[in-house]
Amino acid sequence: MRGIGRSIAGLAVCAMTLSAVIGVCAGGSITAAGSHLDEPVLHYVHEAHRLPAGGASDVRALALARDGGVWVGTAAGVFVLSPGGEAWVPVVLAGGEGPVFDVAAGSDGAVWAGAWNGLHGIRGGRAQRIEGVAGPVGAVGVSAEGIVLAGGPGGYWRVGAGWAEEVEPGCTRYVRGITAGTAGTWWVATEMGLYAWRRARSGYWVDARAAASISVRAVVDAGGGRLWAAALGGIQVFEGERLTRSIGAGDGLPSEDVRAIARGEDGALWCGTARGAACYESGRWKVLRGQRWLMSDDVRDVAVGHDGVVWVATAAGVSALRTEQLTLAAKAARFHRVLEARHVRPPGIVGQCRLRTPGQLATWEPTDDDNDGGYTALALAMEAYRYAVTGDPEALAAARRALGACEFLERVTGTPGFLARTVVPADGRRVHDPNEEIPAPVWAEEQVRDPRNKRVPLRWRVSADGRWLWKGDTSSDEVTAHFFGYWAFHELARDAADRRRVATQVVRIMDHLIEHGYTLTDLDGTPTRWGVWAPERLNGDPDWAMERGINSVELLSFLKLAHHVSGDSRYADHYRRLIRDHHYDRNALEAPNLNPAWRTYIDFELLAFAYPALLTLETDPGLRRVYRRSLERWHAAVRRDGSPFFEFIYALCTTPRRANCDGALALLRETPLDLVRWTMDNTVREDVRLCRYPEIERWQTDRRLPPGEIAYSRTDQNPWLAVQGDGGESEGDGVFWLLPYWMGRHLGILESAGGVGKAKAQ
């Protein structure tokens, strides 16, 4: 639903760059014909590993053993997850349960645990406390030769096969991490700097204290003679012992409270921070945070396996980030399977589903939404494009199913041309916005806030056959989306019978609007809250000034399509009259609304639905120039988003050469495979600034974050919002991605690499 009456106080315009959008993803070479090849792209998939409730879930450290086992030190002791296993197994340490601060794995298969009561060596699942090492031990490192260095409040010890000796490296006991280097060097990360400890002919000695940030937590050999140190204050890069660079929030780190760092065999560097994990590769940072990627953003340790799996220890358990290489075609097949598995409900309605347990797909159940009819119409358009590209009879069947659902939403109301928002079986299930009487004082409050609002106590009605509940007070959003779906299917259908079905539906709705003075009139005899396109309202009522340009574009588009599919000159007459007598063409130049207090992505989406029929069917050069000016105004406002749907709509109405296809394809490639709407709160990140732009109503980020870092799943949502998602309580249907994908294929912007393959719904 649209908003109204936003405050205009405190406007803060933030600098934004198109490079933040275009630079989202590499890949996808351009062919000689200008289309982009569909090359495989790396996708991360989160695998949650929960430990027993209590202190075990408070994971402090993590190590990967030679046999592939995952070892963790927790507030309740040591646990191991065997390769391919599902359950964590506790390892009993001498002295009883207590916190373990660090774990390290040796090349000989041994695992070492720094615990509250000393150092423990673990072999074959059995632990032995090392005599002579006083606890607690806060950090443990193992060299390639199997020598252990352990440190804590009681001092430092070297441990080998059958022996242990106390040593004095000359550094502070505020130790946080120990890493074995080359040529007998040990790197000791402490709260008082980074120390290099080297073996000399007569023993061990302390080298110069190359302190970066005073609080150093971990260090990793980054290759090429470089060391990366994780510190409070960011990451410090050393060449030998010389500090050469400091990396912080301004470089893309989500937090400068860096706790852990690791290097993968592919050269990628991973770090764990107080605000999630981050990976540095190909010259940029990728941020993974929120429950889509991690058990908790409070990251304590990171390790990368030989198989490329990234293991992340957090305050709420362990996350494994596995990878899949997928082309866009393979991703489309996957999303289609998800759509069919959980997002189509009788009588063919397409929409998101509810998850009874957040994030658990097995607990899904259908749910209703105000805009189900519009979402179903978008699925109709998507399947029409899929059929046009592939000729797949399954796509045609799915398109006809969606068309049938759209037809049903009109038939079920019993009023020709009047659409229901949605329907649910009349079986007593819970619905959103149930019927209710609104007390007069409450309604008075609402009227003051929004004088144009409509009091609708009877939202849901029973169908004539008693089988369905249908929802009224239908919005202009639904009508515009329906017409877009009808336009796409009509233009792409190969069967005359399908085109006749579309024509019949368009005419029924258009006749209703004309007969009711260009309004969508509900069963109470008055227009719905948003269903108004009448000249006397748009041109003569200041309460409707916000809709003047957008609704003018919509109505002209409706009439142009009605004339096109029916051949009836009545619709052309109405179209010309609105232009001649009510200057709806000039009104179109006001679209979209760009004042931050009025600007909404709902309106941007509605214009995207309306422009194609208007621009592709209009032949008058003068009117085309006017509509093109309106389109250019719209595109200038959304271009920096890199929205695949918006860019391909623009390409369809103009030419792909003018569209931001690079940005659009980057977003298609980087969209996560997980469609659950996890909450993504970017207000806590240190690498973004908050501002009141492009919409003044809520906080937004000063740069367009990649798809994996937001909860965006609809083109009517503002992708710049700093906080998005619903805590994992729903899953998106994927049409927001599938529709532009198939449009891009149809427009020749994207070439298939061949072999879509099969993919199971996850």
Are the C-beta atoms of 413 and 420 separated by less than 8 Å?
Answer: yes
Query: Closest Cα to residue 176, out of 301, 75, 65?
Result: 301
Looking up tokens 């120990």 gives 178
- DSSP output for 275-312: TEEEEEETTEEEEE-STTT-S-S-EEEEEE-TTS-EEE
Are the C-beta atoms of 490 and 503 separated by less than 8 Å?
Answer: yes
Query: Closest Cα to residue 140, out of 88, 78, 223?
Result: 78
Say how many C-beta atoms besides its own lie within 10 A of residue 370's C-beta.
Answer: 18
Task: Report which DSSP code applies to 26.
Answer: -
678 Cβ partners below 8 Å, 6+ apart? 290, 291, 292, 359, 711, 725, 727, 728
Output the pLDDT for position 309. Answer: 97
For residue range 346-358, what is the model confidence (pLDDT) as tens digits?
999 999 999 999 9
Say how many C-beta atoms besides its own lie within 10 A of residue 185's C-beta.
Answer: 16
Output the pLDDT for position 84. Answer: 85
Domain extents in the chain: 57-274, 364-500
End-to-end CA distance of the chain: 31
**Cα gap 594→709, rounded to integer Å:** 26
> Measuring CA to CA, how many Å separate 463 from each of 469, 472, 525?
6, 12, 18
Q: Measured at the alpha carbon of residue 84, what is the angle toward residues 83 and 86, in degrees to the nearest 5?
A: 110
567 Cβ partners below 8 Å, 6+ apart? none
**Cα gap 455→526, rounded to integer Å:** 11
Say how many C-beta atoms besides its own lie within 10 A of residue 511's C-beta.
Answer: 16
Compute the residue count for the chain.
762
Judge whether residue 96 has pLDDT over 50: yes
Mapped onto helix, strand or coil, the DSSP state of residue 91 is: strand
Query: Closest Cα to residue 44, out of 274, 253, 255, 270?
Result: 270
Over the range 270-300, which residues count as b (16 or more CB within 10 Å of their CB) and which as e?
bbbbbbbbbbbeeeebbbbbbbbbbbbbbbb
> Measuring CA to CA, how many Å separate 455 from each of 68, 437, 443, 444, 543?
63, 9, 8, 10, 17
Alpha helix (H) residue ranges in 368-475: 372-390, 393-411, 440-449
Positive or negative: CA dihedral 651, 652, 656, 658? negative
Output the pLDDT for position 202. Answer: 39
**Cα gap 42→167, rounded to integer Å:** 46
Task: Decide: residue 351, CB within 10 A, 0-12 exposed, 13-18 middle, 19+ buried.
Answer: buried
Judge whether residue 94 has pLDDT over 60: yes
Greatest Cα pair distance, the chain, in angstroms, is 102
Global pTM value:
0.91
Question: Which pair of structure tokens corresponds to residue 568?
Answer: 């009836």
Are the C-beta atoms of 155 and 164 separated by less than 8 Å?
Answer: no
Judge whether residue 762 has pLDDT over 80: no
- Among the four given CATH numbers 3.30.450.40, 1.10.3720.10, 2.60.40.420, 2.130.10.10, the one describing domain 57-274: 2.130.10.10
Question: Which pair of structure tokens corresponds to residue 23?
Answer: 């630079």
Q: Measured at the alpha carbon of residue 417, what is the angle toward residues 413 and 422, in degrees to the nearest 5?
A: 45
| Per-residue pLDDT band at 205 (split at 50, 70, 90) | very low
Looking up tokens 């799996």 gives 309
Output the pLDDT for position 27. Answer: 40
Mapped onto helix, strand or coil, the DSSP state of residue 473 is: coil
Output the pLDDT for position 297. Answer: 97
Q: How does strand 750-751 pair with strand 36-37?
A: parallel
Output the pLDDT for position 262. Answer: 96
Are the C-beta atoms of 756 and 745 separated by less than 8 Å?
Answer: no
Average pLDDT, stretch 445-472?
94
| Per-residue pLDDT band at 755 (split at 50, 70, 90) | very low
| Per-residue pLDDT band at 200 (split at 50, 70, 90) | low
Average pLDDT, stretch 371-397?
98
**Cα gap 658→320, rounded to integer Å:** 41
Q: Per DSSP, what are the bridge partners of residue 178? A: 188
Average pLDDT, stretch 540-556?
97
Average pLDDT, stretch 398-427?
97
Calculated CA dihedral for residues 125, 131, 134, 135, nearest 10 degrees: 20
Judge whether residue 208 has pLDDT over 80: no
For residue range 288-341, what is the model confidence (pLDDT) as tens digits?
999 999 999 999 999 999 999 999 999 999 999 999 999 999 999 999 999 999
> Which residue type does 281 have?
E
**Cα gap 668→739, rounded to integer Å:** 11
Output the pLDDT for position 103. Answer: 98
**Where is average pLDDT lowest: 11-20, 97-106, 128-137?**
11-20
Are the C-beta atoms of 656 and 747 separated by less than 8 Å?
Answer: yes
| Per-residue pLDDT band at 239 (split at 50, 70, 90) | confident
| Per-residue pLDDT band at 754 (split at 50, 70, 90) | low
**Cα gap 559→565, rounded to integer Å:** 10
Are the C-beta atoms of 137 and 93 separated by less than 8 Å?
Answer: no
> Measuring CA to CA, how many Å separate 339 from each of 423, 630, 652, 741?
19, 34, 25, 15
Output the pLDDT for position 17. Answer: 26
Say how many C-beta atoms besides its own lie within 10 A of residue 246's C-beta.
Answer: 17
Q: What's the chain's Rg over C-alpha atoms? A: 31
Percent above pLDDT 70 for the chain? 92
| Per-residue pLDDT band at 198 (split at 50, 70, 90) | confident
For residue range 621-649, what is the model confidence (pLDDT) as tens digits?
999 999 999 999 999 999 999 999 999 99
Average pLDDT, stretch 474-495?
97
**Cα gap 390→738, rounded to integer Å:** 14
Are the C-beta atoms of 138 and 116 separated by less than 8 Å?
Answer: no
Question: Which pair of structure tokens corresponds to residue 131?
Answer: 């005599």
For residue range 560-610, what is the model confidence (pLDDT) as tens digits?
999 999 999 999 999 999 999 999 999 999 999 999 999 999 999 999 999
**Cα gap 725→164, rounded to integer Å:** 53
Output the pLDDT for position 753. Answer: 61
Q: Per DSSP, what are the bridge partners of residue 187? A: 179, 196
Are the C-beta atoms of 450 and 401 separated by less than 8 Å?
Answer: no
Say how many C-beta atoms besides its own lie within 10 A of residue 608's C-beta.
Answer: 27
- Helix 393-411 and helix 372-390, axial crossing angle in degrees, nearest 10: 150
Judge whether residue 745 has pLDDT over 60: yes
**Cα gap 748→756, rounded to integer Å:** 17
**Cα gap 411→420, rounded to integer Å:** 9
**Cα gap 325→617, rounded to integer Å:** 41
Q: What share of the chain is helix, strand, coil (3-state, %, to 5)?
A: 30, 25, 40
Mean pLDDT in the chain?
Answer: 91
Judge whether residue 3 has pLDDT over 50: no
Judge whether residue 132 has pLDDT over 70: yes
For residue range 650-687, what is the model confidence (pLDDT) as tens digits?
999 999 999 999 999 999 999 999 999 999 999 999 99
> Measuring CA to CA, how many Å separate 23 from each of 282, 468, 656, 657, 662?
11, 48, 19, 18, 9
Query: Closest Cα to residue 677, out of 361, 376, 279?
Result: 361
Percent above pLDDT 90 for the chain? 82
Q: Per DSSP, what are the bridge partners of residue 115? A: 100, 118
Say how many C-beta atoms besides its own lie within 10 A of residue 117's C-beta.
Answer: 17
Q: Per DSSP, what are the bridge partners of residue 353? A: 366, 731
Are the C-beta atoms of 110 and 146 separated by less than 8 Å?
Answer: yes
Output the pLDDT for position 190. Answer: 92
Question: Which pair of structure tokens corresponds to residue 484?
Answer: 């877009």
Judge whether residue 120 has pLDDT over 80: yes
For residue range 350-381, what is the model confidence (pLDDT) as tens digits?
999 999 999 999 999 999 999 999 999 999 99
Q: What contacts 24+ positions apart, CB below 8 Å, involve 275-280?
A: 275/684, 275/685, 275/686, 277/302, 277/310, 277/312, 277/321, 278/252, 278/253, 278/254, 279/310
Question: Which pair of structure tokens corresponds to residue 369?
Answer: 């939404």
